[in-house]
A and B are shown apart, each in its own frame.
Chain A
Amino acid sequence: MTRYECLGILAPFLKDEDLVVTALGWVAGEWHSIRPRESNLYQINMGMCTPLSLGLALVLPHRRVIALESDGSVLLYLGNLTTLANKKPKNLTVVVFDNQCYLATGGLPTATAGVTDLAAIAKGAGIANAVAVNSVKNFSVFLIDSLHSGL
């Protein structure tokens, strides 16, 4: 399963007005190549993609917000998962592409390459519907589920 394949699955589900925020790194360019829209916000620096998306989702409850996150970015501000869990806006979906490394800076491993399980951390933070998917098919299933449980 590649990130690009997943982005290709996500794009057709979105309306033009759906807001998409990407983390720093190659995900931004990949997403722009698949869905170039003014409703995208690209290259949000380490740690800030999910909390920024949370702020957007809370002030725009009628708009769908998707955060395209990375493992390194989430690990920088792990506490934000607890904030997200407690606010739990229905219009926000966070997709974390966990490639187990800091790819954009050369590929040294993140903690998830070792013993760390981000989905378990998210669940422990209180995000009850957090799920880890490892195949394109499962990504489609859980993405649809997530988008439908929101707006």
Chain B
Amino acid sequence: MKQEYAAIVYESLKEAGINFVAYLPDDQIHDAQKLVVEDPDFISVAVANEGEGVAACAGAWLGGGRPALIIADSGLLVATWPLASLTVSYGIPILVIIAHRGEVGDRANWRFITYKFTTEPLLQTLQIPYVTARKPEETKEAITGAQLSASLWQHPVAVLLSGEILRD
């Protein structure tokens, strides 16, 4: 991710009112994660497993915070159990930002085709609404809109960052 695009993601999270972030480092979104971690206005939690990140975000929301989980596709797979049994079933509105690889035309190699087959179907199965932002100019509206919907619906909502926005 280009530094200027990382800044767009970071600024969008701020504009959405996010003040708590749980994350597991991912190379595609590392620069945005770094901007968040270095900003003391965010409470940031580096987790060892994306599932505990979901639970930490749920606790943050129950305590009045506005949480986001920033992960990769692989992290979504790891986080399915807490997403299903905690955020979806209790109606806890966390924002899930996913660096999404494996779309047609993506420059990712064969290992990433797994995420073409899993990420969107998984979100649909979990009944987590999502929006995809592929271009820098789409990203702010996707993130702030997803947070608005999460808050209004009292339900987790995901943003898939893909295509140009992720490219170096």
**Chain B: which residue is nearest A24 at the CB level?**
B85
If A52-B86, A55-B67, A83-B45 touch, whether A47 touches B51 (CB-CB below 8 Å) is: yes
If A41-B62, A45-B85, A47-B82 touch, whether A55 touches B45 (CB-CB below 8 Å) is: yes
Are B86's CB and A56's CB within 8 A?
A: no
Chain B nearest CB: distance from A101 CB in Å?
Answer: 21
A140 to B45: give the CA distance in the assembly, Å.
Answer: 31
**Chain B: which residue is nearest A48 at the CB level?**
B55
Contact of B86 among A45, A63, A87 (CB under 8 A): A45
If A45-B86, A47-B51, A59-B20 touch, whether A54 touches B63 (CB-CB below 8 Å) is: no
A47 to B78: give the CA distance in the assembly, Å.
Answer: 13
Are B43's CB and A59's CB within 8 A?
A: yes
| Chain B contact residues: helix, strand, loop or mixed | helix
Interface residue A80 (Cβ < 8 Å from any Cβ of B): yes
Contact with B along A40-77 (1 / 0, CB 8 A): 01001101101111111111100100000000000001
Contact with B along A66-98 (1 / 0, CB 8 A): 000000000001011011001100000000000
Are B82's CB and A55's CB within 8 A?
A: no
Chain A nearest CB: distance from B26 CB in Å?
Answer: 17
Which residues of B lie under 8 Å from residue A47 when comparing CB positions? 51-52, 55, 81-82
Are B65's CB and A55's CB within 8 A?
A: yes
Interface residue B122 (Cβ < 8 Å from any Cβ of A): no
Are B82's CB and A56's CB within 8 A?
A: no
Contact of A48 among B22, B67, B86 (CB under 8 A): B86
Q: Considering residues B52, B64, B86, which has the most beta carbons from chain A within 10 angstroms of its beta carbon? A: B52
Interface residue B13 (Cβ < 8 Å from any Cβ of A): no
A86 to B44: give the CA distance in the assembly, Å.
Answer: 12
Q: Considering residues A47, A51, A79, which has the most beta carbons from chain B within 10 angstroms of its beta carbon? A: A51
Q: Considering residues A52, A55, A57, A83, which has the most beta carbons from chain B within 10 angstroms of its beta carbon? A: A55
Chain B nearest CB: distance from A86 CB in Å?
Answer: 7
**What residues make up the interface of B, taking CB atoms closer than 8 Å to A?**
19-20, 22, 43, 45-49, 51-65, 67, 81-82, 85-86
Q: Could you give 14 example pairs across A and B, Cβ below 8 Å?
A: A48-B55, A52-B62, A55-B59, A56-B60, A57-B63, A58-B60, A59-B59, A59-B64, A77-B52, A80-B48, A83-B45, A83-B47, A83-B56, A87-B45
Using A51-B59, A58-B20, A77-B49 as known contacts, list a sample of 7 further A-B pairs with CB atoms less than 8 Å apart, ordered by residue number in A.
A41-B62, A51-B56, A55-B65, A56-B60, A56-B63, A79-B49, A83-B56
